[in-house]
Amino acid sequence: MFMTSSSPLPHSIGVVQLPFLHHMTLSVPATEMGRTLILVSFICVLACNIYGDSTEATRKLSSIQYNPGCENDPICKRVSDSGSAPNLLYAYSVGNDTLHYFFSTVGAPTFLVAKTPGKKQESLNVSWTDFLSVNDTNVKNSVKLPNVNYAFAVVFTKLYEYNDTNDHADFTSIPNDEWNWNIRDFAKQFVWKGLNTTELNNPVTVRTNLSMTNIDESYISFDWKLFGNHDRNTEVPHLEHTINDTQFNFLINNWPTFCEKSRFGLELVMMGTDGVKHMTNIEESKSLDDEYTPGVFTMIDWSTQSKVLASDTDESKQLGGYLQWKPVVYLTEERSSQKQTQAKHYDTMKADHSVIKSMVPMRSLAMAFFGDQLNTMTLNATNISFGLPEDGFYAKSNYTVWSGSIGYGTPPQDEISILVIIVIAVGLGIPVVLIIFGGLIVCIKRRRSGKGENILVNVADGD
């Protein structure tokens, strides 16, 4: 473990109806002001339609494969010595290049993304005997994919449970002793449920079987969802997804705790073939808008340190992997802003490359895919904890779900939507237009009134 810390207008008016956003009708006066508003609204609708109908690159997403190449091998029909079933999920998406997505709970749960050039579907080769071996040497390079020009992975290495006696909701405030911590190794202390082929819907859920207690519905699970288009998840925090990423949910449900004031957290290790031995720090970006995630104005990005190629092409600038999330977890299955708390991240680990490498479990998809290549790869680690002071600890809800995106390229950033821009523009624009036209009308009326007075004065002088 590591930690760091109005008044009516003159003249009679008619009404013009304008279809707006395909489902609303806007009524405006058929005067000069009305014509101006119609023009502004038409431009807004046109911009919205252009925005919504713009052509965007897409990827053709394959179906999800479960334990590819091992359908008829007896070794995949059995469970490991710990009772855990072998789980390797694989899919790929084809665009100008091909992205390969993996998720496995063999050993430590691992999300892995690999990129190969062109649209050719490379052949995945898994030596299942070696991949499931207890011999560390055999595990290395047991999962092979040819012609990979970039790959990265995120490994869930440890689950932390700590006794937050002072209700600080901060790792760094907890004494480092066995009475305050219960640390579980994902690679060694969890039993994972196997999947049936009928369960291979999108998303796919892989969960633990908590066999050591008699508590019903106690489990930890991962949901893994893939996309071939650019959109947003329908569930809060409504993370944006691109054609280059996947999303996950990490859920702790009704999990038994060792004390009344327990909170949970994670240790994560990220690695990439960027060719450097360190990783950029975790970056926060602020937004003025919480349209997508009520009450949350921050986005967190943890990216590999990109190595810009000599050619300095646009593609080279995209080189790198990322883990993205918002600093929020939800405490009920029906997610809402009233039932949420914080996902707190800590500084990345300040340690030698060899130390971080030793944190990567030998029994993991990362070790099976990269092997000794880890010696020269980008590596770093961080902690994330769940909870806020005075939120009632884990025991109040017995439910915590955290969502994130894992992808290749530049992490997407929240921007104010076209609809919000239109609402703001109309909200601010109409009063301004009313003031301007109202002022003009007043000036014109006064000018006309002034001319009338001058005529009367001239007639009186003539008399």
Q: What is the 3-state secondary structure (H, E, C) of 256-295?
A: CCCCCCEEEEEEEEEEECCCCCCCCCCEEEECCCCCCCCC
Mean pLDDT of the chain: 79
Find which of 106-115, 215-224, 454-463 is predicted with most confidence, using mean pLDDT: 106-115
- For the chain, give every domain's residue range: 60-308+317-408
Angle between helices 32-53 and 418-462 (to 10 degrees): 170
**pLDDT at residue 400 greater than cutoff 60:** yes
What is the rounded CA–CA span in Å between residue 443 and residue 380? 69
What are the backbone dihedrals phi and psi of residue 99, each rounded to the nearest 5 degrees, phi first? -105, 135
- 47's CB contacts (< 8 A; 6+ apart) are 418
- 172, 192 contact by CB (below 8 A): no
Total-model pTM: 0.78
- 452's CB contacts (< 8 A; 6+ apart) are none
pLDDT, position 135? 85
pLDDT, position 424? 61
What is the rounded CA–CA span in Å between residue 294 and residue 443? 46
Question: What H or E segment, with its residue span, contains residue 453?
Answer: helix 418-462
Average pLDDT over residues 321-337: 93
pLDDT, position 269? 97
Question: What H or E segment, with its residue span, contains residue 139?
Answer: helix 136-139
In 280-377, beta strands by DSSP E: 283-286, 298-303, 321-325, 328-330, 340-345
**pLDDT at residue 328 greater than cutoff 70:** yes
**pLDDT at residue 438 greater than cutoff 60:** yes
pLDDT, position 276? 72
At 17-35, the pLDDT tens digits run 333 333 333 333 444 444 4
**pLDDT at residue 111 greater than cutoff 70:** yes
Of 96-100, 229-233, 346-350, the range with the lowest mean pLDDT is 229-233
Residue 319 backbone class (left: φ over 0; alpha: ψ -120 to 50; beta: rest):
beta
Both tokens assigned to 300? 């967190």
pLDDT, position 417? 55
Confidence tier at 425 by pLDDT (50, 70, 90): low
Residue 213's SS3 state is coil
Confidence tier at 372 by pLDDT (50, 70, 90): very high
At 66-108, the pLDDT tens digits run 999 887 777 777 666 566 788 999 999 998 899 999 999 999 9
Alpha-carbon Rg for the chain in angstroms:
30
Average pLDDT over residues 301-312: 62
At 254-294, the pLDDT tens digits run 999 999 999 999 999 999 998 776 677 799 888 756 666 66
pLDDT, position 81? 59
Burial annotation 78-97 (CB, 10 A radius, 16+ → b, else e): eeeeeebbbbbbbbbbbeeb
What is the rounded CA–CA span in Å between residue 230 and residue 161? 36
pLDDT, position 108? 95
Confidence tier at 44 by pLDDT (50, 70, 90): very low
Find the farthest-apart pair of alpha carbons in the chain and give their distance in angstroms, rounded: 121
CA 429 to chain centre: 34
